[in-house]
Amino acid sequence: MKIDSTQPLEYSTEQNRLNILGFWIFLGAEIMLFATLFTSYFVYENRTGSGPGGADIFEITPVLIETILLLTSSFTIGLAIHAMRIQRTKAMLGFFAITLVLGAAFLGVEIYEFIHYYHVGATLQTSAFTGILLTTLGTHGAHVMFGLFWGIFIFIQIKKQGLTPQTANKSFIFSLYWHFLDVMWIFIFSFIYLKGMM
């Protein structure tokens, strides 16, 4: 494998460069996936049938906590990649771990939120509106969950193998994924929660 040392580690082999481009294209597909969910959400937003509407069930506190947790985790994964670039493996692992812990906390609060919806009578089977709300949030949450496991695997690999072109490449791609989930959350926050509560 040819290693080009003028490039940052994550870009240093041909396969690494292919992986990163491929992942960007994958994110393009993910954008379409979420765009379809958002479009459907807007269509069903006021089609609440006999169930509650957004203003009836949204609670600002858990949503704000989730937002802060996820935004911070996006910041810390950025720091992790920065640490990786300057070859500080320990610092990188630290920030990586913080990111994952924040992600797990986010999921915890989201699960609490879902239980709340269940108790106020907003389930998948209540109306088209609650259905699409939970499907959209659930798709995002499932992505975060998937990311957590993936992140843990990468964490273990860096711990074992140190920073190699492969592990650096994986971490960088993971950070793209994580930022992407953050951006999607900002859309969810603004166009589902804020708009719904207004």
Partner 1 sequence: MEFFERFAIPHPSPMIYASMVAIGLVTIAIIVGISYFKKWGYLWNEWLTTTDHKRIGIMYIISALLMLFRGGADAVMMRLQTAVPENTFLDAQHYNEVFTTHGVVMIFFMAMAFIIGLMNYIIPLQIGARDVAFPRLNALSFWLYFAGAMLFNISFVIGGSPDAGWTNYYPLASTDFSTSVGVNYYNWALQISGIGTLMSGINFITTIIKMRAPGMTLMKMPMFVWSALITNIIIVFAFPVLTIALLMGTFDRQFGTFFFASENGGMDMMWANLFWIWGHPEVYILILPAFGIYSQIIATFSERNLYGYTSMVVSMVAISLLSFLVWVHHFFTMGHDAMTNSIFSITTMAIAVPTGIKIFNWLLTMWKGKIRFTTPMLYSIAFIPLFTIGGVTGVMLAIASADYQYHNTMFLVAHFHNVIIPGVVFAMIAGLIYWWPKMFGFMLNEKIGKWAFWFIVVGFCFSFFPMYITGLDGQARRMYTYSEATGFGPLSMLSFFGASLLAAGFAIIVYNIYYSFRNAPRNIGDDPWNARSLEWATHNPVPEYNFAVTPEVVSSEALWDAKKRGHNLFKDKIEKIHMPNNTGWPIIMAGLFFVFGFSFVFFIWAGVILSGLAILGCMAYRSFEKDDGRYISVEEIKETEDKFGGANE
Residues making contact with partner 1 (CB under 8 A): 1, 17-19, 21-22, 25-26, 28-30, 32-33, 36-37, 40, 43-44, 47-51, 124-129, 131-132, 135, 149-150, 153-154, 156-157, 166, 170
E strands along 70-138, which residues?
none
Query: Which long-range CB contacts under 8 A does 137-145 form with residues at least 24 apart?
Result: 137/110, 137/113, 137/188, 137/192, 139/33, 139/34, 139/37, 140/34, 140/181, 140/184, 140/185, 140/188, 141/107, 141/110, 143/181, 143/184, 144/70, 144/103, 144/106, 144/107, 144/110, 144/181, 145/107
Q: Look at the chain and count its residues.
A: 198
Residue 22 or 60 with smaller CB distance to partner 1: 22
- Burial of 139-158, coded b for 16+ CB within 10 Å and e otherwise, reads ebbebbeebbebbeebbeeb
Amino acid at 32: M
Residue 46 or 60 with smaller CB distance to partner 1: 46
CB 2 to partner 1: min, Å: 9
Residue 47 or 119 with smaller CB distance to partner 1: 47
Find all residues with CB under 8 Å of 75, minimum gap 6, and list them: none
CB 72 to partner 1: min, Å: 26
CB 92 to partner 1: min, Å: 18
CB 133 to partner 1: min, Å: 11
